[in-house]
Structure 1
Amino acid sequence: MYALGEDVPTYNTMRPQYSLQGNNAEEIFSGKPLDINHYKNYLYSKKTLRTI
């Protein structure tokens, strides 16, 4: 149960969601506009870091 207590806040506030076009749940609920290009760039930068 402890891991779930850590994962839910991370999922809602930090982890970008593809279905939300790169925003996380908190950003959607606060009214932030969707920006798929930002998400694609973010994923590309993280992928680059993993392959170094």
Structure 2
Amino acid sequence: EILSDYGFAGDKWCPQSSFGGLFPDNLTTIFPWAAFFLSTQRDYLHKEEHV
């Protein structure tokens, strides 16, 4: 998730992609990265804690 963001060269492959795998020169334009900090990744990590 961190390296590809579900995309390649700016082409988003999935709805949860924030920037299509093409990191911008200025990361402040995508921070906070919603799919990583607030949504998909958070939910993935919480699944272990709610068992």
- Do these two structures clear the TM 0.5 threshold for a shared fold by scoring above it? no
Q: Which has the larger radius of gyration?
A: 1
Say which structure is richer in strand.
2
Give TM-score scaled by structure 2 length: 0.40
Give TM-score scaled by structure 1 length: 0.40
